[in-house]
Amino acid sequence: MTHEAVRTRRDGAVLEVTLDRPKANAIDVATSRILGDVFAGFRDDPELRVAIVTGAGEKFFSAGWDLKAAAEGEAVDSDYGLGGFGGLQELPGLNKPVIAAINGMAVGGGFEIALSADMILAAEHASFALPEIRAGTLADAATLKLPRRMPYHVAMDLLLTGRWMDAQEAARWGLVNEILPADKLMARARDLAALLASGPPLVFAAIKEVLRETEGLAFQDAMNIITGRKLASVDRLYGSEDQLEGARAFAEKRDPVWKGR
């Protein structure tokens, strides 16, 4: 499936989503809504298990909010569609793994899309910045997420100054999983996606829902929610064929065959 600004490619259980809006892969309202529809389709398709999100070209992953569209009157508080800006960071019920393959600069909202992924791979030349401070506006999602992903003082440095952070520094703070040569980035992302796609989808769903729904709760309160099977994904997992299959495969010293039910 191909849209003017968003290209998608299916490979078995893996969906690749490529933002393709020259020159900087910036996102306007129309593109954000397309991305929201694409990621919602991924969420709702039982045949798809993992997504990769990346940008076209070698310079930009995404420059974030399209300032040209803003200058023409598109408001910062526009309705960006299902999933909020970029279609990913506010998408409800997304219980499947997403890998961000950062092929260049991830700026502002582009950085926030990367933060919405579960794993981040970066090309050696990739870099990250939140320049909103210089434009007198708020990097809203990053303000919430970044201090939870890296040391508070480093996150505040990025938020308050808008400075650039290269891939090596991002790796040092644990913000990216791996740094790769640019020509190896997508191959590694596809290998990782294939590995995840072979894993137990009901467990992945439970992990993502548990993290999302218990954030901010005291440990015992969160544990009570899990052991009480109060989350749909956990309840489904604990009563599933896959749970029995995992135990049988372990006992029989063979690889499990996951059915997602």
Q: What angle do CA 236, 239, 242 make, to 5 degrees?
A: 85
DSSP readout, 69-93?
A: HHHTT--TTS---TTSGGGTTT-TT
Tell me if residue 4 is catalytic.
Answer: no
Tell me if residue 132 is catalytic.
Answer: yes
Could you tell me where the DSSP H helices lie in 7-51?
Answer: 29-44
- Provide the 8-state DSSP code for 134: G
Calpha distance 50→35 (Å, rounded)? 16
Distances from the Cα of 119 to the Cαs of 51, 88, 96, in angstroms? 11, 14, 12
Out of 72, 124, 132, 209, pick the active-site residue.
Answer: 132
Asked whether the beta carbons of 87 and 136 are under 8 A apart, the reply is no
Q: Which two tokens stand for residue 238?
A: 């604990």
Question: Residue 228: phi, psi to the nearest 5?
Answer: -85, 5
Half-sphere exposure of 185 (CA within 13 A, CB side): 27
Residue with tokens 């791979």: 121
Out of 112, 178, 209, 215, pick the active-site residue.
Answer: 112
Active site residues: 112, 132
